[in-house]
Amino acid sequence: MKRKSLSATKKTRNFYLTKLKDPKVKKLYKVFSNNLTSLDVAKKKLMVGVSGGIDSLSILFFSQCYALKHKVKLYPVIIDHNLRTESSLEAKNLKFKLKENFSINCKILKKKNIKIIKNIQSSARDLRYELFYKECSKNNIGYLLLGHHKNDVIENFFIRLLRGSGLKGLVSFDKNVSKYNDIKIIRPFLSIPKKELININKKTFGFFIDDPSNNDDKFLRSRIRKILIQLDKEGLNFDKFYLTLKNLSKSNQVIEFFVDKNVIENSKYFEKEKKIILNQSFFKNPDEIILRSFMQVIQRISKKKNYPRGKKVLSLLDSIKFSNKNVKLTLSGCIIEKIKDSVIIYPEK
């Protein structure tokens, strides 16, 4: 390596590790590092989603520090949804700024010839994960880091509440580690409020990009965000609310334990025939356990990313439980047959 390159590398390393000496930056880095250390991420590959927002830039900064300290190969990527005319230029400018000023080389991912005209934010999210997954698979990357924080958890709760979600839906965003296909998604900052990340951003990169869609009232999340700001002014204690949410999460974990127990003990999977047989005891549980267990086995057979709609599943379960005759129904690409005291589930041809 040339002397000039060595000098630039040393300067870059010093920039990041010097910033870590700040007590507040160091404290948050410890939270970040503990999440990764528990997963044995050291000396492995990490993808980082970079949007240019305060949260993603905070994750990027700490990821770079972690990579320097633990010899991790970092893959920072920027998703260009191409939803706004200026989005491609913004992605290129962000890539240039991070490369020139902070020696971080991001890759821009986008999908050609795609138009999102309904359920925009949900569709954009699906597109992001699709692009993340393809890039991870191509480069044999097993971990994806995202910058979601405590405010996102609370916003998500209220969004799900308005949509009539059950307990599982209400707390579906509370895990620091989740899976998308065979990739582990790590969200180290779910217990950290956005205001702390704002302070970190000021002490580190010192810039961020404000996406105008964050303030657009046509999106439910934007409207929820404004309502929460008003509730905060009215005295709602979000720290206490967050603790309540964590307690709900613990209740959900208990239910999930018995769901897994029901599936293990009262169903049998046949690999060769790609079918599952449920015995009579599968349905001798509380309704919520039966519902989640059934949705789990349906998803295993259908291989679909999302669970089937709850109302459809409930209607089908009623047909199975309250019929004295053999029943043959379809759901989510599966055929469900009740034959005497057993239920057989297999793919539609």
Length of the chain: 349
Say if residues 83 and 120 touch (Cβ distance below 8 Å). Answer: yes
- Which helix (H) or strand (E) element contains residue 196? helix 194-203
- The phi, psi pair for 256, rounded to 5°, reads -60, -35
Count CA atoms closer than 13 A to 274's CA, side-chain side.
Answer: 12
Q: What is the pLDDT of residue 118?
A: 66
Contacts of 162 (CB under 8 A, 6+ apart): 220, 224
> For residue 13, how many other CB atoms are within 10 A of its CB?
15
SS3 347: strand
Spatial separation of the C-alpha atoms in residues 182 and 281, rounded to whole Å = 31
Count CA atoms closer than 13 A to 132's CA, side-chain side.
Answer: 26
Spatial separation of the C-alpha atoms in residues 202 and 25, rounded to whole Å = 10
pLDDT digits (tens, 9 = 90+) for 58-79: 999 999 999 998 888 999 999 9
pLDDT digits (tens, 9 = 90+) for 273-301: 899 999 999 999 999 999 999 999 998 99
Say if residues 342 and 277 touch (Cβ distance below 8 Å). Answer: yes
Say if residues 108 and 78 touch (Cβ distance below 8 Å). Answer: yes
Q: What is the pLDDT of residue 321?
A: 84
The CA-atom distances, in angstroms, between 88 and each of 79, 83, 93, 170, 267 are 9, 9, 9, 34, 49
Q: Which residues of the chain have pLDDT under 70?
A: 1-9, 42-43, 113-118, 305-307
All structural domains of the chain with their residue ranges:
3-236, 249-347
Spatial separation of the C-alpha atoms in residues 75 and 307, rounded to whole Å = 30
Q: What is the pLDDT of residue 112?
A: 75
Say if residues 63 and 53 touch (Cβ distance below 8 Å). Answer: no
> For residue 215, how many other CB atoms are within 10 A of its CB?
11
Q: What is the pLDDT of residue 4?
A: 46
Question: Which of 158, 244, 238 has the alpha carbon at shortest distance from 194?
Answer: 238
Spatial separation of the C-alpha atoms in residues 77 and 147, rounded to whole Å = 13
> For residue 55, how many other CB atoms are within 10 A of its CB?
24
Let me know the angle formed at the C-alpha of 40 by 38 and 44, rounded to the nearest 5 degrees: 140
The CA-atom distances, in angstroms, between 334 and each of 105, 181, 301 are 45, 20, 7
Assigned CATH topology for domain 3-236: Rossmann fold (3.40.50)
For strands 183-186 and 177-180, give the pairing.
Answer: antiparallel
